[in-house]
Structure 1
Amino acid sequence: MSDSPRTTTGGASGTARPVIIGISTKAYLGYRASLDWLQAVTDVARRHPAVVDGRVRLFVAPSAPLLESAVRLASGTAVVVAAQDVSPDPAGPTTGDTPASLLADMGVRLVEIGHAERRAERGETSAVIRAKIAQASAAGLATLLCIGESARSTVDEAVAACLAQVADAGSGRVVFAYEPIWAIGAPAPADPSYVREVVAGIRSGLPEALAGAPIIYGGSAGPGLLGELRPAVDGLFLGRFAHDPANVATVLDEAAAL
């Protein structure tokens, strides 16, 4: 994630590249449970050969109060710590916000921006998302930009909806998390053939400044899915399935075997 997106390109090129596995705990886990989970996942990463040698890149995005602990626990490993959100404003008189510069000072390297829940439930507009990306970029942070269509649709309609959201990304260091909104929290992920087609369409429509940016899939993603989506996607963005560290180890094993 610290590299330029163009160094981790995937899809049709066949270029060897790391598999990206990301995990968000959202707001599911309490403080002690979050610490236990972070300890377990960083222990798995510390021992896993594919994470150690860089074939698999792992990032974790815990709740904001756990970020300092996450950075501490990830020290000495290849695990990247990500924040689930960032302020659209620089450091200053914005009560309750967490500016990008503070995250960077803490050791956070990646910021999740534009998740469907924040777009729908917190009223985040394209202008807000662009401001957050600009702040992250100015602080030297990479962006995990969430994109996805709101309802089941045709491949062409889904691609168009996603590319409209891609337009907010600018030209910074970006990883795209393709998450069909209707698949988030669903009993099963979107059909793999549908995901592969949509991701191919997104890749072909990326602007030159973002050509080769990694695209990972999220939306009820879990063990067994990665093999069905590769090489179309660069990895997975895991949610509740990864709240069991044993499932994290399973997905890392699957990624290493590809």
Structure 2
Amino acid sequence: MSHDFVIGVSLKMYFSHARTLEWCRRVGALAAAHPAIRTGATELVALPTFPALVPSRPLLGPSIALGAQDVAATDAGPHTGEVGGGELAEVGCTFAEIGHAERRRMGETDAIVGEKVSSALRHGLVPLVCVGEAERADPRTAATVVADELRRVLAPSRARGQIGRVVVAYEPHWAIGRSEAAPTEHISTVCRHLRSTLTEDGHPPESRVLYGGSAGPGLLTELGDAVQGLFLGRFAHDPDALTRVLDETLALKEGSS
């Protein structure tokens, strides 16, 4: 099924194990009943911590896709602390987040991110690729910088003939962790350019471009058709806030029909 919108939620490392499972239980119930999910208009992806992946799967239910917050660049071997794409798929993941700014600050390069994208595709996982400029620039400059970054990190998989579905989360580093998102004009300009980049490079039509970086309820309505969803962090830790975002996707879908 091709969804109009993708809404991703990363729990990062904010919750305890017990609180993570309670969140998954509540969100699983709301997704099962929400018309945006039931009609297929919106795909909801939850990304808990590694220890919570297995117990989260039944709590989230069949309406929500499960994603990991990272994936190893290699498949198996002496890589302490890493988790390979094959194992993630084995426990029920269908998405893997790759290249978040927080991991970039820990030393991940374009080359590492590119190998992780290739690994995800190799194991049938949808790469949720995070891209964004470190320093604030005008929208057109940012669009060029970020599109170049996207092409660099997709280059290894393209060279291997791995042209699969990708979900791109545009997260300008300077907007992460702030009280509000980047300006809507800035987001719209960059995200439209990223969508054109994916189309030009032959990625499947079910690929999507999301906005993340202090995103929350109300933003999707402001952005309209400039984006195809949101990648949420702390503003979706309250399931009621997540419900409001899903309400927005339904209203936008119905308004475009």
TM-score, normalised to structure 2, is 0.90
Check the 8 A contact 2:140/2:189 in 1, yes or no.
no
Name the structure 2 match of 1:223: 217
SS in structure 2 of the partner of residue 82 of structure 1: strand
The one of 211, 214, 237 aligned to 1:243:
237
Question: What amino acid sits opposite 1:257 in the alignment?
Answer: A
- Per-residue CA deviation, residues 195-242 of structure 1 (Å, 9 max, x unaligned), is 111112223334422374310000111111111112010011111010
**Structural mapping, 1:19-30, within 5 Å:** 19-30=5-16
Distance 2:109 2:86 in 1: 22
Question: What amino acid sits opposite 2:116 in the alignment?
Answer: K
Compare relative contact order (CA 8 Å, sep 6+) and give the higher one, 1 or 2. Answer: 1
Name the structure 2 match of 1:186: 178
The one of 88, 92, 95 aligned to 2:73:
88
Matched, 1:210 2:219: no
Distance 2:202 2:116 in 1: 19
Matched, 1:254 2:238: no
The one of 24, 32, 51 aligned to 1:38:
24
Runs (4 or more) in structure 1 with deviation over 4 Å come to: none
Question: What amino acid sits opposite 2:149 in the alignment?
Answer: Q
SS in structure 1 of the partner of residue 134 of structure 2: coil
Distance 1:205 1:56 in 2: 23
Matched, 1:153 2:145: no
State the number of aligned residues. 242
SS in structure 1 of the partner of residue 225 of structure 2: coil
Name the structure 2 match of 1:78: 63
Check the 8 A contact 1:203/1:211 in 2, yes or no.
no
Identity, % of aligned positions: 41
Matched, 1:197 2:189: yes
Where in structure 2 are there 5+ consecutive unaligned residues? 253-257
TM-score, normalised to structure 1, is 0.90
The one of 110, 113, 117 aligned to 2:98:
113
